[in-house]
Structure 1
Amino acid sequence: MICTLFVTATSLSLSGQIIGIKDGDTIVLLTDDNRQIVIRLSGIDCPEKNQPFGTKAKQFTSNLVYGKRVCVQTQSRDRYGRTIGTVYLPDGRILNNELVSSGYAWHYEHYSKDTTLQRLQQEAKKAQRGLWSDSNAVAPWDFRHHDKSSASGPPVVNYKTVTDVSTYIIYNTETGKYHAPTCRWAAQCSDNCISISLKVALRRGGIPCKVCYGTHKK
């Protein structure tokens, strides 16, 4: 794969092999001159790892680029030192667009006015692809804000002290968190959630939700 190298005041074209997948929108590029660069895909935001579809978004990205040569049109760096860019696949498709089109990423409208990403998101939402199959899907930036605002955390409960096996909660098999059935986060947990007794959830090492605290009071 040949990339056309061009340099402007804010943009550089890089080429190399993808050697790491941190999550759906963050990958590691090994450049042709043997540098490792963390690439944050521009204009999009994938679900967090502990959100529904977070794992699937990461796998989708891995299937498309891991071990393959790509071109990256860079834009800038973020506050974490990651290079922001658009990733071109060997067949010419754009990874950023593919994630949004397949319903594994949101168009990050706060930072991007890309009309193509806007259109692809509208189409994915209409077709209920990926995360859009959940009518209560939470944008990752809202999810991150929720986590930061709940930093105090829920109490730790020993399952051996719980005797009520008739209390059922919503348990996320991917994250290990459990919610009261009436919790708003339980309503958004559709991809990996099951209804089990509180005692069983605690035996599995379940972690109470930071909003509803499962069935426990703070």
Structure 2
Amino acid sequence: MRITQKQQRAILSLFTARTWPARISAIIVLALAAFTWWSQSQVSPGQLTKGSQIEGRVVGVADGDTITILDADKKQYKLRLAYIDAPEKAMPFGQAAKSNLSDLVFEQQVTAHIDDVDRYGRGVARISKAEQDINLAQINAGLAWHYTTYAKKAQNRTSFQQYEAAQSKAQTQRSGLWQDSNPTPPWDWRKANR
């Protein structure tokens, strides 16, 4: 922590001031400096915050809705694609979902708009590549569900309707996982396999 001239004066004032108001002012300045330093130290490199935006190259695709990007400062961020839920790797179409996402973004530059941070510390993000909504692309391919349980709470109305329409079209065209007459949603599969 680097001490500014104002903070140096406050420290000096704390010990040399003859009046209580001057000492209290010095204490306030130092307390604010300490709080600022503490709050900045709480965000470590690679840590994500809601509302932030990250640009980087995709260096890993874990499954149909999870990627890792590397930014210009060589920091890695694990991101979960917002508002969708793809089949788990062990599920039917799980590998196809991962492969499709890899084809879309692996080794590509993307922008991640962080909408939330999940309990595992992953950013829950809307991923775009050259103006293409990658999350929506997974639904269009029939390789992810629109995760309405969470989308209802946070997704804007226009985007929500686009995702719903894309899922409906994929179902009608029997694309991807919709080739199965009654595919098991990943949230049900996870619950059954705990």
Is 2:92 the partner of 1:46? Answer: no
Is 2:163 the partner of 1:117? Answer: yes
Q: Where is the helix percentage greater, Structure 1 or Structure 2? A: 2
Residue 96 of structure 1 aligns to a residue whose secondary structure is helix
Shift in alpha-carbon separation, 1:82–1:10, aligned structure 2, 3 A:
closer
Which residue of the partner structure matches residue 132 of structure 1? 178
Residue 151 of structure 2 aligns to a residue whose secondary structure is coil
Equivalent residues, number: 139
- Provide the C-alpha distance between the structure 2 equivalents of 1:117 and 1:51, rounded to a whole number of angstroms: 22
Please give the TM-score of this superposition, normalised by the length of structure 2: 0.70
Aligned with 1:61 (options 87, 90, 101): 101
Code of the aligned partner of 2:186? P
Where do residues 76-95 of structure 1 align in structure 2 (5 Å cutoff)? 76-90=116-130, 92-95=131-134
Which residue of the partner structure matches residue 101 of structure 1? 140
Unaligned 5+ runs, structure 2: 1-48, 153-159
- Provide the C-alpha distance between the structure 1 equivalents of 2:100 and 2:118, rounded to a whole number of angstroms: 24
Is 2:193 the partner of 1:147? Answer: yes
Deviations 1:182-212 (A, max 9, x none): xxxxxxxxxxxxxxxxxxxxxxxxxxxxxxx
Q: Aligned-pair distance for 1:64?
A: 0.8
Code of the aligned partner of 1:84? V
- Provide the C-alpha distance between the structure 2 equivalents of 1:60 and 1:125, rounded to a whole number of angstroms: 17
Residue 110 of structure 1 aligns to a residue whose secondary structure is helix
Q: Aligned-pair distance for 1:39?
A: 0.6
- Superposition CA RMSD, Å: 1.1
Residue 132 of structure 2 aligns to a residue whose secondary structure is coil
Is 2:63 the partner of 1:17? Answer: no
Give structure 1 regions of 4+ aligned residues with deviation exceeding 3 angstroms: none
Greater Rg by CA: 2
Unaligned 5+ runs, structure 1: 1-8, 149-218
Q: Aligned-pair distance for 1:115?
A: 1.7
Q: Aligned-pair distance for 1:10?
A: 3.6
Paired residues of 2:50 and 2:117 also in contact (CA < 8 A): no
- Provide the C-alpha distance between the structure 2 equivalents of 1:110 and 1:71, rounded to a whole number of angstroms: 25
- Provide the C-alpha distance between the structure 1 equivalents of 2:134 and 2:75, rounded to a whole number of angstroms: 21
- Provide the C-alpha distance between the structure 1 equivalents of 2:128 and 2:99, rounded to a whole number of angstroms: 18
